[in-house]
Amino acid sequence: MKKIIFLILILAQAAFAQTVNRYEAELLKNPNKGGKDTREVNAVLIFEKDVLRINSRRKNETFRELKYSDIKYVEHSYSKTPQATVATRAAILALFTGGLPLFYGQEEKHWLTILTENEFVVLKIENDNFRLLKMEFLVRDFDLINVNENNL
């Protein structure tokens, strides 16, 4: 009897629950209208039923609210840059101690650009969730354009 009640509760919760997916990113924002000062602002992308909301991670503020029907273009771009901070130090240390630096890596930076009729949003997305964000847009029937900036 307890198993049946538990199963009914789980199914009822799944039926009435609205799934809202949240992803952390950094929004490129110009605080001075018409100025050249661009800053990265901590943001959270919230995929709701009809709207993509971009909220502040620190304050209770909504930066942008984009209806899915208004979105015309979604682009994912990335670039690979040599990881010179830790790898360079370790390579120099390895050369001085007689070893070969075989562990040079490359850091990927991922960007997401969303364009509507009247506005655009540029987001720097984290390396661990860019695939999930791409799938969120593909599930909502957006043609996602992939651009590798190293080949431009």
Question: Domain containing 41: what range?
Answer: 19-151
Pick from 29-33, 75-79, 131-135: least confident: 29-33
Cα 102 from Cα 104, distance rounded (Å): 6
Residue 7 maps to a domain: no
pLDDT of residue 67: 92
Residue 111 maps to a domain: yes
Residue 70 maps to a domain: yes
At 55, phi and psi to the nearest 5? -105, 160
Q: What is the pLDDT of residues 82-99, one digit of tens each?
A: 555 556 666 666 666 655
Q: How many domains does the chain have?
A: 1
Cα 28 from Cα 62, distance rounded (Å): 14
pLDDT tier for residue 77 given thresholds of 50, 70 and 90: confident
SS3 letters for the chain? CHHHHHHHHHHHHHHHCCCCEEEEEEEEECCCCCCCCCEEEEEEEEECCCEEEEEECCCCCEEEEEEHHHEEEEEEEEEEEECCCHHHHHHHHHHHCCCCCCCCCEEEEEEEEEEECCCEEEEEECCCCHHHHHHHHHHCCCCEEEEEHHHC
CATH code at position 35: 2.30.29.30
